[in-house]
Structures are given as structure tokens and as C-alpha cells.
Structure 1
């Protein structure tokens, strides 16, 4: 196909029953692209995924480029994140992240999730293996890792007040309400992101067990172990506890989390003033003012 004429195949990134994720490099520009190749049998689900990706435009979300059908396969072309994923980063870590490091990754994820929830989109499968890392040159000249939320194959557009009942997501970090089959909304994404935050703080999953049944039982019945108070502030501990509340009504929304002073001061580090105005509206002046006054970042 003509689309591939200018591309060089590099490797298979991942492979499933009905899909492959492939890495290609543009022969002229040397820019890398991820191309997801899906059997046409799943075209309906893929079309939904593509329609969601087309609506998203955010620095902390994997960028959709184009899609097409060829020879019985549906192809989705996306940006490539060159530094692996958060699962690999946590797995390779030999000592705990500092609170500054935790907040650096966590706030970027909150900003990505806000972009989704403000558009009535549920991710429904937030996990460290779907959080990609891209090395960038920061404004201060240092090289840093930018978070890119991906994996929108289970995402869904909803309406205000709508409850979902379909059990989707990674089993080990399903929210309690999904396991109970009681119906769920955007607070299920908050639970999953809280799970990621807990892993950043502890380098371990929230719950473990010798079977999926045991893990699900713990998710419903047991309280998670606290994060280390000698390494992390009470504010951060409170955020973890709220996000991992068994009762979804007690979990904060993504906008409530971003309004917290400990989080809000980080926002201008990742978004331009123009983007803050677009995403936050009336909070724009306060967010920028907080950043100018805070000398710790």
C-alpha cells in the first residue's frame, strides 16, 4: 500500500489475538510511528476507538494521526512514545520515588483524565501498561519524561448521569462497584488512577493474591495498606485514601482533585497559559498566580 512506501518496519511492540501493535520509522524524517493493526472483524469497536481519539487533543494523551482499512485490516496511526511505559518504569525502580517525582507523573495523568471526563469520555482501563513515557526537552533545558495516556480500546462516550454496567478493564484494578455489578460512572476511572498513584508511592499493587477471586474479594472487603508517612505528606496520603474509597460517592472528581492546592500549583508546569484558560476557565488566573508565588517547583 502507498501509505507504507515511505515507512520502514522496525519491530512488533505487542501482539494480541486480533491485533498487532507495530513500530515504523519514516525513511525521510526518521520520525517513529505506532501503527495498530486490527482484524476487520472488530471494525465496529475500532471505529468507536478512532472516533474517540479524533476528539482528543492534549499533550498528555497519545496523539491520533490517521486511520484506514486495507486488505482485511483496520490500521490506526499514532505518535510513538520513546521511553516505554509506567509499568516498566515502576518495575525497574530500586528505591521509592520522591513525592516530587510522584506528583510529576500523577498531575500529568490528572490533566489527561480531565480532558476525557470534561468530554464525557470514560477510559475504563487506566493501568500502568497503558501510560506511555516520552522524553522531551523541557523549558529549563533538562530532559524529562512526558506522560502520554493511551489504550482507548475500552473507552466509551457517555451522557451526564449515565451509569455503565459492562464489565471491562484489567481485573486486578477493577473498582469495587464494577466487581459488584452495581453500575459505575467516571468515579471508576478515579479508582483506577488512584491504583496507579498507589503503585507510584509503593512500587507495588494495591492488592495481591493467588487468584483473581482473592484479589476481587480484597478489593471489595479490605482496606489498602497506607503509604509510607515517612516519605510522603499527609496531603498525598489523603488523596490516595480518597481515590481508593470503596464508596464511589466519596471519591473526588478529577476537577475536585485538580483544584487542591497541592496539585493545582503543578498545572502551569505542564500546560501553557492558553491551554490552562481553555481547560480550566475561571481557575486560569488563580492557577497561574499560584505558580508564580510557589518557589518549590
Structure 2
């Protein structure tokens, strides 16, 4: 249970490569901070712990996002989402998550595009997470391969809720948030957006899993221009069903699959015709993604990162009083 986990009971997992090295395992590094592999003192269970500098949060004006991420963490009980607990000290905020030993979908994609069976399974897991979040009036707004993790059985879990937001049905928000390649046109044009943006990003994810990024450039402005042009080129090897769901997830918001009268049911009944959704929810399916997972030490599916020897300054403004 979430309430029984205490931060002082967690210790870093250390690398052992031939001879003892003693370096803590870093699972990921980003603008937000670092994710490290931890275990309980009795070596019972592994966790991934995201450590974010409080100074950095204040400098980037992300206090509200971090507080909302904590709020979601406390409220969510979904097998396709990995948030577990949260702690703080004078320097850092710590988000404790289930450790997904299969690694990032992004890392697997670097080795080549997925076949359709694997893409269907990955996307179905995302659809389940979306269904749960949207029912709770939460938009995710940061779907991308880097935020999708594989557990050891090959099931896909959502991580990083920094851009998530509660929204009353029928209302819109005007925040400019997200990852450029995955932003819906209405966010770029500042027309106001709602849950429909999650379905746009689902279409972009399917395209990237099967083909590669549809809109890419080293300059965000060029990415935005390509998205607004709205031209998706479908290679000949793409199935008709895949082309169909992508095209139906990526038109104008009011016509987007998942955002019409039947909601997410329309998404489930489209490309996923052979999916047993009940068995997926109960984790009773054999995941085709297991063949993407390397066998070895628990951290073998993650890239190696250099250690961070710096220590951030303390932060006492009090924004995290209730964290």
C-alpha cells in the first residue's frame, strides 16, 4: 500500500560490472532531473525514483504542475500508470514510481519501427490509461515514446504527469504545453483545447510506432508549421486499418475519433478489433512486446548515464508546504 512506503527505507541500487563499481543506477536524465533505481532496505522490491530540484521547479515556474502531479499520484489506482508515492527534503522533490524493468518504448524504437501487432498492444495500454484518466476529468497532454515504459511482462505504463490537468467537460484551457512533435494544432494556434488533444497525440504515437516521427525538425517552429500543414504521408507497407485510425485521430477536434458522441468506445472498436479489453485490464494477455526486452541485470534495458556529482541549493520558499 502507498501509505506504508517511507523514503528513508529506500536505498540506491548499485552497478556491478565484473568487479564492484558502487555507482547508483540512473535510469533516465532530462530537463526535469534524474530517475534512479532504488530498492527497499530488505531488498524486497524495486522502485524508480524521480528526483527534481526545488530550485529548478521555482525557476521554471512549475510549482503548480508539481503539486498537481502529486494530487494525481494520491488519487490514481490504475495498472497502466506507475505513480506510487512522493516525498521532499530541503533540496528535492522525489516521485516514487513502480520500476518498469523493460525500459522506455523510445529506447526500443531506436532499434527500428514496430510491427503492427506490437504497436496495437502498446497503444491499447495507452487507451486504457486514457479511459481511466478522462473518466476522472484529467487530460494527460504529454504522450510520447519517452513517457511510455515496459514492465517485465511487456505491459506499457504511463509516466510523467507534469503536463496533466483537470478540466470540466465542455470547458477549454489555453495553456501552451506539450512536446512539439506531439502538439495538436489547436494548442499551437492557441484556440483553446480540451480532451481532444490526447486523441491527436494517440494518432501521432501510432504513426511513430509504425513509421517514425511524422513531424520532425531541430527547430520547434518548423515542427509547428508542419503540424499546421497537416500532411501525413502513409508508406505503402502501412495497413489500411492503421492508416484509417491515424487519419481519424488527427482531423479537426470535433471530428476526432474518441472526441465524438461515443467517446473512447469508438477508438476501442476501430484498429483493435482482435483485442480482448477485459483480459488486457486483468493483465491476462501474453504481451507481444516481451520480445523487445533484453534479459540480464534488472537495469539492462536502460542506457548508462554518468553520475551527477553536483548538489543543488536548498529552497525554502514554502510552495511545497503541503507536498
- The answer, yes or no, to whether TM exceeds 0.5 is yes
Pick the aligned partner of 2:12 from 8, 13, 21: 8
Distance 1:126 1:18, change over 3 A: closer
Q: Say whether the 8 Å CA contact 1:258–1:264 is kept in structure 2.
A: no
The total of aligned residue pairs comes to 258
Q: CA deviation at 1:149?
A: 0.9
What's 2:118 paired with?
101
Q: Following superposition of structure 1 onto structure 2, how do residues 264-279 of structure 1 map, counting pairs within 5 Å? A: 265-272=275-282
Q: What is the CA RMSD across the aligned residues, in angstroms?
A: 2.3
Task: Provide the residue aligned with 2:108 in structure 1.
Answer: 89
Q: Does 1:205 align with 2:213?
A: yes
**Does 1:58 find its partner at 2:110?**
no
SS of residue paired to 1:20: strand
Counterpart residue number, 2:20: none
* Matches of 2:93 and 2:138, distance apart in 1: 23
- Which sits farther off after the overlay, 14-23 or 113-122? 14-23
Structure 1: which 4+ aligned runs deviate by more than 4 Å?
A: none
The 3-state SS of whatever aligns with 1:262 is coil
Whether the 8 Å CA contact 1:114–1:255 is kept in 2: the answer is no
In 2: Cα distance, 1:44 partner to 1:224 partner: 35
Question: Does residue 242 of structure 2 align to residue 236 of structure 1?
Answer: yes
1:185 is aligned to 2:199: no
In structure 1, the partner of 2:65 is 45
Decide whether the 8 Å contact of 1:198 with 1:227 is kept in 2.
Answer: no
Comparing 213-222 with 21-30, greater Cα deviation is found at 21-30
Measured after TM superposition, the shift of residue 36 of structure 1 is 1.7
2:39 matched to which residue of 1? 25
Distance 1:39 1:188 in 2: 29
What CA deviation, in whole Å up to 9, does each residue of 1:163-218 have, x standing for no partner? 0111011112211111111111111111111111001111x101223532222111
Partner of 2:225: 217
Moved more, 72-81 or 254-263: 254-263
User: What is the SS of the residue equivalent to 2:125?
Assistant: helix
Higher relative contact order (CA 8 A, sep 6+): 2
Bigger drift between 185-194 and 257-266 goes to 257-266
Counterpart CA distance in 2 for 1:54 and 1:209 is 37
Residues in 1 aligned to 2:81 and 2:235: alpha-carbon distance in whole angstroms: 28
> Does the residue aligned with 1:92 lie in a helix, a strand or coil?
coil
Separation in 2, partners of 1:208, 1:7: 40
Q: Which residue of 1 aligns with 2:254?
A: 249
Residue of structure 2 equivalent to 1:291 = none
Q: Which runs of 5+ in 2 are unaligned?
A: 1-5, 14-23, 58-62, 259-263, 284-323
